[in-house]
Chains A and B, each alone.
Chain A
């Protein structure tokens, strides 16, 4: 194995989901630096027409959050003549709506497997997980895919502040962390369940999305930020509340200043539920100014050195090592601050670092279930049409897409994922996949996918795809196995468990 092939393997293992047949030779011939440069500019890499067509066929994936809300959400359940939806109508709409999460998962997996823009796809997985929302929480069943399309995907290599703002205003996040109900006590819009403060989003915004738990904020800052974010909600906002018209003073001024988005199922700022007083937040005074307060708070959070460090650490852990060295993380944090949160610049600094190029880090990370499953399918060179076996496997391994209930997302370390049952299931998956026993190429929508005759993968070709770096013990075990089993041992080898 030449060193250029070894570096190519490292690059595609870490920036992406491992090599497909022929990838390593192509990357080595092109030069790893050039390949990384292209990955950092995904628009420069053409998408194969076949992949674009497959994504286009996932029709709900191109619907906006408001469209999904209207076509699959509560409005779609109401009888034509008006009135409340019947339980049957509700059930039918929910049943019909299942296609949304299903297509979101399929879109995510097909791109991870087939897209030549591998870095973009691993960053979509990374940033979605950073800003995790859960498909199992109420209306988020409609919006997890749209959240990824609208708030995550456009920004994965852009400015962090833009992604932070997009997630803060996305209905999926507003619903998931309850800020859509967060209301200034005593405000004109405070009534019923919208009666007062909800700290949920404010806390996780600092703890998980930006500063980190040791980022220097207090409980008073959590409460202040919750007040700052009152009225950040999901439309529609009632145009005129009777109580409002009767009031004067600051609320009337607010009314004159308000910008109302009337969309159903999209972000709206409701001045009637906002706290217009001045706030003390992270040692600064934020003057009461409506929605601008929240924007100022997001600016402060995005520009904080604590945020720079936290994001640098998480990115380094994802791309480099479970315990990334402090110097590399510090360099990434500095780059982040110097570039005003430019994610592309931070990653370019990481990929150019000595640590990233050090052979000591090659093959040192234990793959997450997501990486393991996708890298196996890529190495096998299979064009997947039926994603059910992959979804099932990810569920069994504990990492179903859009399936993490709590906001911190999935862990990314060996300590989190290496366990006895995981080994049993990975090895069983490896053998079944390599033997051709998974109905991955069956009709996608058939109720009972037809099982095609098993056609085992060729072990020697698979080893070439992966660059041929296997220990003598692995080579011996492969050689000693029955021929039909050999490719499964390649995919179940210690070398393939890591990246």
Chain B
């Protein structure tokens, strides 16, 4: 479901580049270069980072994966050369131009220090920003939202999907936009004769009333966008099919609404215990649309890419050795993807611990040399300009960033 939605999303953003109005609207509302943004994409189910950014220079990788290894660059179906040590999964070819223009980086052997191999505990810790502490009520992106300066609007933080994820839950109001067919169709609640009654019922400060008011503000923005697009279509915009696509408005929202500072997606389908595949196959089939979607998002938001950082994270990595069914089981260290104009890209960051037997975490998994929080903290500090106090509020107790990721963001 999520993967398909992302596909539609990418189709929508591609269409957007054909609509000049979107880009102009963006530029006009951001004369000084625009608002700094952070987009987080969470790959739920634990993506196999060793087949995403392939350590083809580490011979232990090939020993551990007789049937699912990605071959070195230059071989048939081989990895795409990155830096002489690592190669990119061939299904991620749409991202290679961003690597070459140095706006895409990876942080390998990164992740959460907590040892859990439970998807749900690990996701929870990664979203709360407090690994090992299950009592934390809110998510780190919600704490980040309250740390960002300036007046907050209903679309300051937007989550795509019908429910609010843990990472955005908390004190600050967050809008959510559903994915799927018909998501941007007008609803009965958009009609004043109807919402006038509900305004009376949900006028308080209780959780339902707050959600109601946030929802109404979001609907007003969406419907205003819809009207603008009707005008655009009347002016001869090329793609009526694109207009009917529910996903186009997602890109439109991110690209046009100057209020959006934080956005969140979750994509499922990464839990490849069986028949993971190599250059082709199950994992490749999931990576390809993700790469296309990210590429389309980067292009679709136009000049705003200069001020946007996109993070791709997952709860943990997978076993170094393939399991008995040509798949991989739950592991530990993984790779984090960092993309956007402010990124000092074209580099694989982080200390590589190697895949030699004695270097593995608990004799089976990629060890972690970079705590995910310290890598994200670099983004928050250098890109979103958070001070020390705010950083400590977002990631309490996080270790300082290792020198190996210090240069991640251009200053």
Q: How far is the CB of B193 from chain A (nearest CB, A)?
A: 7
**Once the chains bind, are B188 and A431 in contact (CB under 8 Å)?**
yes
**Once the chains bind, are A198 and B118 in contact (CB under 8 Å)?**
no
Give every chain B residue within 8 A of A481 (Cβ-Cβ): 197
**Once the chains bind, are A416 and B163 in contact (CB under 8 Å)?**
yes
Segment 426-475 of A: residues with Cβ below 8 Å from B: 427-428, 431-432, 473-474
**Once the chains bind, are B273 and A178 in contact (CB under 8 Å)?**
yes
**Complex CA distance for A427 and B208, rounded to whole angstroms:** 12
Give every chain A residue within 8 A of B326 (Cβ-Cβ): 193, 195
Chain B CB count within 10 A is highest, among A200, A403, A417, A474, for A200
| B390 interface contact, C-beta 8 A | no
**Once the chains bind, are A424 and B216 in contact (CB under 8 Å)?**
yes
Choose from A193, A213, A222, A428 the contact partner of B274 (Cβ within 8 Å): A193
Give every chain A residue within 8 A of B273 (Cβ-Cβ): 178, 198-200
**Contact indicator per residue, chain B 95-126, by CB within 8 Å of chain A (1) or not (0):** 00000000000000000000011111100000
**Once the chains bind, are B176 and A403 in contact (CB under 8 Å)?**
no
- Give the contact stretch, choosing among A53-61, A180-188, A288-296: A180-188
Choose from B163, B177, B198, B219 the contact partner of A489 (Cβ within 8 Å): B198
- Give the contact stretch, choosing among A144-152, A276-284, A350-358, A491-499: A491-499
Choose from A395, A414, A420 the contact partner of B212 (Cβ within 8 Å): A420
| B146 interface contact, C-beta 8 A | no
**Once the chains bind, are A197 and B193 in contact (CB under 8 Å)?**
no
**Once the chains bind, are A408 and B120 in contact (CB under 8 Å)?**
yes
**Complex CA distance for A414 and B210, rounded to whole angstroms:** 14
| B136 interface contact, C-beta 8 A | no
| A425 interface contact, C-beta 8 A | yes
Choose from A199, A418, A476 the contact partner of B208 (Cβ within 8 Å): A418
Give every chain B residue within 8 A of A200 (Cβ-Cβ): 271, 273, 329
Give every chain B residue within 8 A of A424 (Cβ-Cβ): 187, 189, 215-216, 218-219
**Complex CA distance for A494 and B269, rounded to whole angstroms:** 36
**Once the chains bind, are A418 and B211 in contact (CB under 8 Å)?**
yes
Segment 387-424 of A: residues with Cβ below 8 Å from B: 395-398, 403, 405-406, 408, 414-424
**Contact indicator per residue, chain B 269-282, by CB within 8 Å of chain A (1) or not (0):** 10101110000000
**Contact indicator per residue, chain A 360-399, by CB within 8 Å of chain B (1) or not (0):** 0000001000000000000000000000000000011110
CB-nearest residue of chain A to B206: A494
CB-nearest residue of chain B to A492: B198
Choose from A190, A396, A494 the contact partner of B178 (Cβ within 8 Å): A396
CB-nearest residue of chain A to B115: A219
Give every chain B residue within 8 A of A405 (Cβ-Cβ): 1-2, 45, 268-269
| A482 interface contact, C-beta 8 A | yes
Q: How far is the CB of A457 from chain B (nearest CB, A)?
A: 15
**Once the chains bind, are A406 and B329 in contact (CB under 8 Å)?**
no
Give every chain B residue within 8 A of A485 (Cβ-Cβ): 193-194, 197
**Once the chains bind, are B324 and A421 in contact (CB under 8 Å)?**
no
| B164 interface contact, C-beta 8 A | yes
**Once the chains bind, are A420 and B207 in contact (CB under 8 Å)?**
no
Choose from A199, A366, A415, A474 the contact partner of B329 (Cβ within 8 Å): A199
Give every chain A residue within 8 A of B30 (Cβ-Cβ): none
**Once the chains bind, are A185 and B164 in contact (CB under 8 Å)?**
no
Interface size for B (C-beta < 8 A) is 58
Give every chain A residue within 8 A of B175 (Cβ-Cβ): 420-421
| A196 interface contact, C-beta 8 A | yes
| B202 interface contact, C-beta 8 A | yes
**Once the chains bind, are A398 and B161 in contact (CB under 8 Å)?**
yes
Segment 191-233 of A: residues with Cβ below 8 Å from B: 193-200, 203, 207, 213, 219, 222
Chain A CB count within 10 A is highest, among B201, B208, B218, for B201
Choose from B44, B198, B275, B324 the contact partner of A190 (Cβ within 8 Å): B324
**Complex CA distance for A473 and B200, rounded to whole angstroms:** 8
| A92 interface contact, C-beta 8 A | no
| B330 interface contact, C-beta 8 A | yes
| B169 interface contact, C-beta 8 A | yes
**Complex CA distance for A195 and B216, rounded to whole angstroms:** 55
| A136 interface contact, C-beta 8 A | yes
Q: How far is the CB of A402 from chain B (nearest CB, A)?
A: 12
Segment 124-183 of A: residues with Cβ below 8 Å from B: 136, 178, 181-183
Choose from B118, B177, B218 the contact partner of A213 (Cβ within 8 Å): B118
**Once the chains bind, are A423 and B208 in contact (CB under 8 Å)?**
yes
CB-nearest residue of chain B to A199: B329
Choose from B1, B197, B275 the contact partner of A136 (Cβ within 8 Å): B1
Give every chain A residue within 8 A of B307 (Cβ-Cβ): none
Q: How far is the CB of B270 from chain A (nearest CB, A)?
A: 10
| A326 interface contact, C-beta 8 A | no
**Once the chains bind, are A421 and B201 in contact (CB under 8 Å)?**
no
Segment 280-317 of B: residues with Cβ below 8 Å from A: none
**Once the chains bind, are B45 and A421 in contact (CB under 8 Å)?**
no
| B327 interface contact, C-beta 8 A | yes
**Complex CA distance for A271 and B176, rounded to whole angstroms:** 51
**Once the chains bind, are B274 and A396 in contact (CB under 8 Å)?**
no
| B225 interface contact, C-beta 8 A | no
| B402 interface contact, C-beta 8 A | no
A200-B329, A489-B197 as given contacts; A193 in contact with B119, CB under 8 Å: no
**Once the chains bind, are B324 and A396 in contact (CB under 8 Å)?**
no
**Once the chains bind, are B177 and A178 in contact (CB under 8 Å)?**
no
| A480 interface contact, C-beta 8 A | yes
**Complex CA distance for A251 and B136, rounded to whole angstroms:** 52
Q: How far is the CB of A398 from chain B (nearest CB, A)?
A: 3
| B59 interface contact, C-beta 8 A | no
Give every chain A residue within 8 A of B214 (Cβ-Cβ): 420
**Once the chains bind, are B211 and A474 in contact (CB under 8 Å)?**
no
Give every chain A residue within 8 A of B268 (Cβ-Cβ): 405-406
Give every chain A residue within 8 A of B239 (Cβ-Cβ): none
Chain A CB count within 10 A is highest, among B44, B208, B216, for B208
| B94 interface contact, C-beta 8 A | no
**Once the chains bind, are B329 and A489 in contact (CB under 8 Å)?**
no
A405-B269, A424-B189, A497-B208 as given contacts; A198 in contact with B162, CB under 8 Å: no
CB-nearest residue of chain B to A489: B197
| A477 interface contact, C-beta 8 A | yes
**Contact indicator per residue, chain B 374-398, by CB within 8 Å of chain A (1) or not (0):** 0000000000000000000000000
CB-nearest residue of chain A to B191: A431
**Once the chains bind, are B201 and A428 in contact (CB under 8 Å)?**
no
Give every chain B residue within 8 A of A432 (Cβ-Cβ): 188
Q: How far is the CB of A384 from chain B (nearest CB, A)?
A: 20
Chain B CB count within 10 A is highest, among A190, A476, A494, for A494
Q: How far is the CB of B32 from chain A (nearest CB, A)?
A: 30
**Complex CA distance for A145 and B163, rounded to whole angstroms:** 25
Give every chain A residue within 8 A of B45 (Cβ-Cβ): 405-406
**Complex CA distance for A195 and B118, rounded to whole angstroms:** 24
Q: How far is the CB of B142 from chain A (nearest CB, A)?
A: 12
**Complex CA distance for A489 and B201, rounded to whole angstroms:** 9
**Once the chains bind, are B208 and A420 in contact (CB under 8 Å)?**
no
Choose from B169, B206, B323 the contact partner of A415 (Cβ within 8 Å): B169
Chain B CB count within 10 A is highest, among A405, A416, A489, for A405
Choose from B117, B162, B325, B330 the contact partner of A178 (Cβ within 8 Å): B325
**Once the chains bind, are B163 and A197 in contact (CB under 8 Å)?**
no
**Once the chains bind, are B163 and A196 in contact (CB under 8 Å)?**
no
| B183 interface contact, C-beta 8 A | yes
**Once the chains bind, are B162 and A396 in contact (CB under 8 Å)?**
yes
Give every chain B residue within 8 A of A194 (Cβ-Cβ): 324-325
**Complex CA distance for A200 and B167, rounded to whole angstroms:** 25
Additional pairs, 10, CB under 8 Å, beyond known A178-B327, A181-B325, A203-B118: A193-B326, A203-B117, A396-B178, A396-B182, A405-B2, A419-B162, A420-B175, A423-B208, A427-B212, A428-B187
Q: Could you jot down 5 A-B contacts, CB within 8 Å?
A: A408-B120, A415-B169, A420-B214, A477-B198, A492-B198
- The 9 A-B pairs with the shortest beta carbon distances in the complex, nearest first, are A196-B324, A398-B162, A420-B215, A420-B214, A428-B187, A181-B325, A424-B215, A200-B273, A428-B188
Chain B residues engaging chain A, CB cutoff 8 angstroms: 1-2, 44-45, 116-121, 161-164, 169, 173-178, 180, 182-183, 187-189, 193-194, 197-198, 200-202, 206-208, 211-212, 214-216, 218-219, 268-269, 271, 273-275, 323-327, 329-330, 362
